[in-house]
Amino acid sequence: MKFSKLSQLFLVSIIGLVVAALLTSCNIVTVDYLFVASSSGSGAGSAGQIQTYDLDEGSGALRAGQASVPSGGSNPVSMAVAPDYTDLYAANQGNNSVAHFAVSGSGVLTNKDTVTTAAPPVSIAVSPASSYLYVVSGTSSATLTAYSLSSGTIGSPVATIPLTLASVNSSFATDTIIPTGVNVLANGNAVYVTAYDQSAYYPGCIPTLTTPCIITSSANPGWVFGFTVGSGGALTPATGSPWKAGIKPTAIASDPTNRFVYITDFASNELIGYTVQNGNVLDFLLNGPFKTGNEPSAITIDPRGLYIYVSNSLDSSVSAYTIALSTGTPSAALNVTGSQTNSTDTQPVAILVDQSLGRYVYTANHLGNSVSGFELNPNTGALTQTISTPYPTGNTPAALATIPHGNHAIQSVTP
């Protein structure tokens, strides 16, 4: 059978594409596994899923890895990884659960156990020694719960703390407190929770003589609660806690040297910084707060403690900052074009830096159904987009986690 010249050209093209794909595949070196929690369907009650991506060492590009697994419930909103990278936890708001997964060396997730929370979980964190899982929960109240961990398995609560403003003023004791984030210091000595007083928060309201804004509390809207971790996981409020935290704090992160804490304020488009004083007391950075994009939603700090990255949900962008190590003051990091705009897909709601190299930044784009990738300049903190970004995900991704591949040491990125 004879081929026409057009057929021969088509065949040659196909063979070339196959060869190129094989060469590309061979050249990819997986240095991290990136996990993305999203909804597998379009309905509000759709089951959640966790997708696994292989992260290329040389380019930061993502490709599909191991098969997706159920997140253990519906509407996953937060994930956390144990410090030894053998366990992953996913908080599912739709069925009030936190699921525990064992992570194999090849990135396979195996569901091991699940706990049911009294209220919808909002954010989770694991202690540095993998001793406790901290869960902040509630959509009409706020509670911090510390669960014991044993070889990754979630045990019974060792501390349950309702978050109220009674210590600020007894008249605020019944205010509705909405939690938004939780963070544990790298030394494990303190836990901080961001929340806002719904009774004092009325977004977008412009009062008139006939339709006043109905605010039931005169308290400050935004707060951060601090607790010292004691023997057996006991939690004791730090002196002066809670502290003011803008209007609507959305996320919180601390640097790896336990000296600074940073919070994003969704309503004021600001980054608020604190120094960690004796007794885990927080004190405002003197020259803050600092400008972000519109509606900052999430925050991360690179493993070296040199750079801060904030996702801006309304702008669909990432703000990059360098940290002055002596004072903790963040300064905007400019890319080579002199711009501070690092565009993502639509509505980024989660952000992280890869744990293996500390060289790549990723956002989960809730309305874009994707992950956006950036390479960070280790000398300046500036970002440039990775090739082929954004990368498609399941519906409405909401949380990210990363685990180093076993072929790479991570000591080079520790402070």
3-state secondary structure at position 21: helix
Question: Checking phi first, is residue 369 left (phi over 0); if not, alpha (psi -120 to 50) or beta?
Answer: left
* CB-based contact 146:158 (threshold 8 Å): yes
Strand partners, 143: 137, 162
Distances from the Cα of 344 to the Cαs of 66, 318, 367, 391, in angstroms? 25, 7, 11, 11
Rounded Cα distance between 13 and 59, Å, is 26
Strand ranges across the sheet with 87-92 = 76-81, 87-92, 97-103, 109-116
**In angstroms, rounded to a whole number, what is the distance separating the alpha carbons of residues 383 and 302?**
13
Provide the token pair at 280: 């885990």
Written as six digits, the tokens of 66 are 């191991």
The Cβ of residue 361 has, within 10 Å, a number of other Cβ atoms equal to: 27
Burial class (CB in 10 A: 0-12, 13-18, 19+), 84: exposed
Class of the 34-413 domain? mainly beta
Type of residue at 274: Y
C-alpha 328/C-alpha 324 separation (Å) is 5
Residue of 191, 52, 197, 69 lying closest to 124 (CA atoms):
191
Per-position pLDDT tens, the chain of length 415:
344 444 444 443 443 334 334 434 446 688 899 999 998 765 555 689 999 999 999 999 999 999 999 999 999 999 999 999 999 999 999 999 999 999 999 999 999 999 999 999 999 999 999 999 999 999 889 999 999 999 999 999 999 999 999 999 999 999 999 999 999 999 999 999 999 999 999 887 777 767 777 788 989 999 999 999 999 999 999 999 999 999 999 999 999 999 999 999 999 999 999 999 999 999 999 888 999 999 999 999 999 999 999 999 999 999 999 999 999 999 998 776 666 679 999 999 999 999 889 999 999 999 999 999 999 999 999 999 999 999 999 999 999 999 998 644 444 455 5
Q: Which long-range contacts (CB under 8 A, 24 or more apart) does 67-70 make?
A: 68/40, 68/394, 69/101, 69/109, 69/110, 69/111, 70/40, 70/111
**Which H helix or E strand runs over 31?**
strand 30-39
CB 376 within 8 A of CB 353: yes
* Strand pairing category for 30-39 and 395-404: antiparallel
pTM: 0.90
Residue type, 311: S
Task: Give the list of residues 6+ apart from residue 193 with CB closer than 8 angstroms, or none.
Answer: 136, 142, 144, 163, 179, 181, 182, 183, 224, 225, 227, 252
Tokens found for residue 294? 């519109």
- Angle subtended at Cα 387 by Cα 382 and Cα 392, rounded to the nearest 5 degrees: 110
Q: Identify which of 413, 293, 409, 289 has the alpha carbon closest to the alpha carbon of residue 348.
A: 293
